[in-house]
């Protein structure tokens, strides 16, 4: 039985951050909540990939608000499809590069945000 391979921390945050990745991973292994928070913040601050994902996701904030306010009772798969379509439109409109990691993160976050906004 096959499964999906989890993304590595290197794939998500990019290269050149080995010290920050090691510190974060060590904190997770030690179940050190404060270390995880500090490590996460450092990775976000210094990672171009994570910064791009946050910036791109912010471009969908109005879409999330409107979709949530529409009050349609959509299941998670329907919200994912809606999020994929909107993200594709934004990427085409702004001529953004195709990045599988960013797309997965943005689409999942938007789908969840639409669901939470309806409640």
Dmax over CA atoms of the chain, in Å, equals 45
d(CA 46, CA 50): 8
Work out whether the CA dihedral 67, 71, 76, 78 comes out positive or negative. Answer: negative
pLDDT: is 87 or 50 the higher one?
Answer: 87
Q: How confident is the model at residue 14 (pLDDT cuts 50, 70, 90)?
A: low
**DSSP alpha helix (H) spans, 14-75:** 18-29, 33-46, 48-58, 61-69
Rounded (10°) angle between helices 76-94 and 100-118: 130
* pLDDT tens-place string over residues 46-55: 777 777 888 8
- Given a cut of 90, whether residue 85 has pLDDT beyond it is yes
pLDDT: is 10 or 23 the higher one?
Answer: 23
* 92-97 mean pLDDT: 90
Provide the pLDDT for residue 81. 93
């Amino acid at each position: 039985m096959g499964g999906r391979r989890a993304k590595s921390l290197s794939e998500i945050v990019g290269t050149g951050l080995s010290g920050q990745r090691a510190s974060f991973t060590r904190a997770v292994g030690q179940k050190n909540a404060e270390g995880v928070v500090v490590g996460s913040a450092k990775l976000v601050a210094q990672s171009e990939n994570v910064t791009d994902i946050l910036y791109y996701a912010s471009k969908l904030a109005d879409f999330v608000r409107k979709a949530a306010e529409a009050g349609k009772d959509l299941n998670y798969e329907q919200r994912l499809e809606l999020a994929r379509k909107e993200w594709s439109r934004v990427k085409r409109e702004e001529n953004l590069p195709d990045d599988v990691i960013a797309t997965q993160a943005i689409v999942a976050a938007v789908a969840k945000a639409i669901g939470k906004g309806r409640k």
